Structure 1
Amino acid sequence: MAFHEIRFPDNISRGARGGPERRTQIVELASGDEERNASWANSRRRYDVAYGIRRGDDLAAVVAFFEARNGRLHGFRFKDWGDFKSCLPSGTPSHSDQVIGTGDGSTTGFQLAKNYVSGAQTWTRAITKPVAGSLRIGFDGTELVSGWSVDTTTGGVTFISAPGTGATVSAGFEFDVPVRFDTDVLDVTHDLERLGSITSIPLLEIRR
């Protein structure tokens, strides 16, 4: 299998449904109390893009995209319109949006990440598919316009010189979700106008 660095059509993904999924085991005790255990440390996203098909041309584009990925075999990029920036969806990414590490004087590589904060709790999500040209890097609160590079296929940021000990490294960016089709069959229904429709086209986030 391989990963194709191509994004699913934006005009169709904009009408998709889906979001994060977690796996929790719940055991009900004889007393009626519960014990809850998280099976997954990280969430996994699921989507259904069938809701974004509005025209016959959209259907044709999805079929072509599906065939080119060999069904479930190859992964691809997907824009989650509800969560595709380091900032709020209404904002513009800034170099200070997300803290991605602290310098120690020797480390030159850092992984892009997004922190989800609610109250005293924080969950950190590794970002592996940043959008080319969208990345901004901060160093102790000041934007750094050079001296670094980013791998848009992994989300790794590399500095020419290692940030000094205690230096805060931050980033702002747009990003895609690495996904694959979660079906090897497209069940197309042809209506009277021959536009066609598909009941469900599930996508599943790829986690490595």
Structure 2
Amino acid sequence: MGIWKMRSPGQEQKGEVIEESEPKELQAEECGSLFTHEDVKMSEIFSSVLSVDVESLMEMFSGGQLEHKVMQKTGCLDYSSTEWELVGRNIYKRQISYKFDKALSRYGGEASTTQQKYTLVNQDGWAIEEVMTLQGVLLGDYFNLQLKYYMANIPSKPNTCNVQVLLGIAWLKSTKQQKKVTKNIMSNTSNRLKELFSLVEKDLTSRNGGS
């Protein structure tokens, strides 16, 4: 879920680099990680409290109409996802593919993504790990993207959940543009996630007569 324009972003990403084990209150169950590059630093690029519960929010990862609608609105064409498959105790996996429209990437291109989800321990919610590879994108074969979503209900506030997304870049080849590419990806992915979750929240709350 990123934006790959090779332009200088309007705002510099200010997300602080944090260890993947944080936040401690949202630690997930011990399970096999989808991430093969464990030394990649994960930075928080999105954090928000949404006026929906996790059960409703997970519809955006269900492969249904809502997911296809919001992904198309945020620049993903020919969006396709497989069914979630149980691959271990409490661990589910699926594959996603889509093409970028020209607003998302001036060169077009495609993304192939693997997602893995599992419930959180001592929290009412889910974690989703995502590994994305890019094709037909400038320098796309130089790196993979690793994202981790934490989504947990807030016990003191019904129909409200906390969402946090971390992003890391696993570099496969070196390039002089690494710093610039990293800055662009961090900033643009953060902006894209804000738009994505805003659309989802608006759609879900409108069904319940919310604002």
More helix by share: 2
Higher strand share: 1
Q: TM-score, normalised by structure 1?
A: 0.26
Higher Cα Rg, which structure:
1
